[in-house]
């Protein structure tokens, strides 16, 4: 099958040549296949978010190649890449414009793919937005003229999720997008995520610190450490993997004190 995303030997060092020099990506290579739903785990500072930033073009990488759907996007500016990449952050405030209405926010996200109309908010698109919002089951379809800043974090994140998938991206990147929400809301947003990904079959990469969820969701799991991918499992190997084994593997491969780690902490919930 054709790879949606190909990463070839990606290197990125921050503050090169200073005392703060930090090698954040240390030769990352990865093929994301069509329909892949990859969960990504790794300790704090492993380089997970940096990997997403590199894919999205937040900064130029030092070395390597990024190929999206057969097209080399290594030197493309961030907003041009965004045409085919949907992205969600941990902070629910990042994905939406607070002083604009739900409808206007969605219209903006939908701009790149919809037929061009004079007014951003129009009847045809609004009907579609309404339909999408109704699927969230949060009652937002009746509040389309509400400013997004008035919604709760969970509601904002749910709308952001719709916005980042509304124009059929080839790749969806989720960076701990439920970590800032209360447990009940997080569960709901995660359920919506799985639902959307299954429905649209968008290739998805999801960073999470919940190891259990990482093994349960999706079809493939990657572990990162010190800017490298140290584990990449799928199929039977993944099906047979337990949380305990993964943790053991993790400690063996990275030789780190597990007790200090957030991963262990989050599995004790």
Partner 1 sequence: MILLIFGAVQLGLIYALMAMGNYISFRILNIPDLTVDGSFALGMAVSVMTAISGHPLLALVFAALAGACAGLVTGFLQTKVGINPILAGVLTMTALYSVNLFIMQGKANQSLFGHNTIFSMLENLGLSKNASRTVVVLVIAVLVAAVLAVFFKTRFGIAIRATGDNEEMVRSSSINANATKCVGFALANACVALSGGLVCQYNQSADTGYGSGMLVVGLASVIIGEAVFRHGGVTRGLYAVLTGAVLYQLIIALALKVELLPAYGLKFVSASIVTIALAMPKIKSIIGDVIKRKKEGV
Binding site for partner 1 (CB under 8 A): 56, 78-80, 82-83, 86-87, 93-100, 104-105, 107-109, 111-112, 116-121, 163-164
Q: 10 Å Cβ neighbour count for 192?
A: 19
**Which range, of 47-55, 149-157, 166-174, 259-267, touches Mg ion by CB under 5 A?**
47-55
Our finding on whether 88 is near ligand ADP (CB under 6 A) is no
Contacts of 252 (CB under 8 A, 6+ apart): none
Question: How many chain residues interact with ligand ADP (CB under 6 A)?
Answer: 11
- Identify the CA nearest to 206 among candidates 190, 226, 195: 190
Our finding on whether 46 is near ligand ADP (CB under 6 A) is yes
Contacts of 95 (CB under 8 A, 6+ apart): 88, 89, 156, 157, 159, 160, 163, 164
**What, of Mg ion, ligand ADP, partner 1, none, does residue 67 touch, CB below 5 to 8 Å by kind?**
none
| Among 28, 47, 172, 210, interactor with ligand ADP by CB under 6 A | 47
Q: Are 172 and 205 in contact (CB under 8 A)?
A: yes
Q: How far apart are CA 53 and CA 60, in angstroms?
A: 9
Our finding on whether 14 is near ligand ADP (CB under 6 A) is yes
141 or 226: CB nearest ligand ADP: 226
Binding site for ligand ADP (CB under 6 A): 14, 22, 24, 42, 44-50
């Amino acid at each position: 099958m054709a790879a949606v995303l190909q990463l070839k030997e990606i290197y990125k060092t921050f503050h090169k040549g200073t005392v703060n020099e930090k090698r954040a990506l240390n030769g990352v290579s990865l093929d994301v296949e069509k329909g892949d739903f990859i969960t990504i785990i790794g300790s704090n500072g492993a380089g997970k978010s940096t990997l997403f930033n590199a894919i999205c073009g937040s900064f130029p990488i030092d070395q390597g190649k990024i190929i999206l759907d057969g097209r080399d996007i290594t030197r493309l500016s961030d907003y041009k890449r965004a045409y085919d990449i949907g992205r969600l952050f941990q902070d629910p405030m990042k994905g939406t414009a607070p002083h604009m209405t739900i409808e206007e926010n969605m219209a903006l996200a939908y701009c790149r793919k919809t037929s061009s109309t004079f007014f951003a908010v129009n009847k045809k698109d609004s009907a579609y937005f309404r339909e999408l919002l109704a699927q969230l089951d949060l009652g937002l379809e009746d509040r389309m003229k509400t400013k997004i800043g008035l919604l709760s974090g969970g509601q904002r994140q749910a709308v952001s999720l719709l916005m980042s998938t509304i124009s059929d991206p080839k790749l969806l990147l989720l960076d701990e997008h439920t970590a800032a929400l209360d447990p009940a809301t997080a569960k709901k947003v995660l359920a919506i995520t799985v639902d959307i990904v299954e429905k649209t079959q968008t290739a998805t990469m999801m960073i999470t610190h919940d190891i259990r969820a990482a093994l349960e969701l999706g079809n493939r799991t990657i572990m990162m450490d010190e800017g490298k991918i140290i584990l990449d499992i799928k199929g039977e190997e993944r099906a047979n993997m337990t949380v305990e084994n993964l943790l053991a593997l993790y400690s063996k491969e990275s030789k780190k004190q597990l007790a200090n780690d957030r991963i262990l902490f989050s599995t004790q919930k």
